[in-house]
Structure formats: structure tokens, C-alpha cells
Amino acid sequence: ETGVTQTPRHLVMGMTNKKSLKCEQHLGHNAMYWYKQSAKKPLELMFVYNFKEQTENNSVPSRFSPECPNSSHLFLHLHTLQPEDSALYLCASSQERSALGSYQETQYFGPGTRLLVL
């Protein structure tokens, strides 16, 4: 148990569906992250929120829409996805996103949502 929970753990959706992934951290952290892990590829950072503000968007298609209503919750809204979007989506949190880089940036990951797009 890392203190980061994700729901649902598994999701199957059609290309016309709209769904949302939820992440919640119970660690008192201020930074939250979405990662995508596709088969045979390194983890890819998608979005970063620091103190509820989005600070990074790594060229993610607009069919993925993040939302961070507070420092403890992070959502990823999905719509009109493609089969190649099937992957494991991991949420992580860290104490903060520091400009200097420090132990405060140690990231703790949730269990992930395994998404299949048909």
C-alpha cells in the first residue's frame, strides 16, 4: 500500500465512450502525475500538477483531459480514444515539484488502471 489509490483498476471502453480515471493520494503531497505505460515502451509522463496547477503537458492528444480539483485528487477524462491508447495508466504523487530537484520529488505510484480500447 503506497498511499496512492486508483479507480477503476480495469476498464474496457469503446472508441465513442467517455470515461474518467480517478487517482487519490493520502500522503499530503502537492504534486501529482499521470503516466502511460504501453507494451514494450518506457513509461511516458503525460501530465504534471503542482499545487493544483498544471505545469507540464507532454504533447498529449486532446482526447485525454486531466483535472486536479485539489492536491489530493487527480482525474483523467477520456473521450473518443483509439485502440492504440490501450495501456496501463499510472498515477503518482510527490511532496512537491521542486525547481531544484530534491528528495521531495520522490514519486509514489498508484496501482494503475489497465485500459483496453476496443
Partner 1 sequence: GIQVEQSPPDLILQEGANSTLRCNFSDSVNNLQWFHQNPWGQLINLFYIPSGTKQNGRLSATTVATERYSLLYISSSQTTDSGVYFCAVEIAGNTPLVFGKGTRLSVIA
Choosing from 20, 43, 60, 95, the residue that interacts with partner 1 (CB under 8 A) is: 43
Choosing from 39, 59, 83, 103, the residue that interacts with partner 1 (CB under 8 A) is: 103
Block residue for cell numbers 483509439: 82
Choosing from 58, 61, 82, 118, the residue that interacts with partner 1 (CB under 8 A) is: 58
Which residue, among 1, 5, 7, 3, has the nearest Cα to 115 in the 3D structure?
7
79 vs 88 by CB, closer to partner 1: 88
79 vs 114 by CB, closer to partner 1: 114
Those residues with Cβ within 8 angstroms of residue 44's Cβ, 6 or more apart along the chain or in another chain:
35, 36, 37, 38, 58
Which residue, among 36, 43, 51, has the nearest Cα to 93 in the 3D structure?
51
**Does residue number 54 form part of the binding site for partner 1 (CB under 8 A)?**
no
**Does residue number 100 form part of the binding site for partner 1 (CB under 8 A)?**
yes
Stretch that binds partner 1, among 13-21, 61-69, 77-85, 91-99 (CB under 8 A): 91-99
Stretch that binds partner 1, among 15-23, 41-49, 59-67, 77-85 (CB under 8 A): 41-49
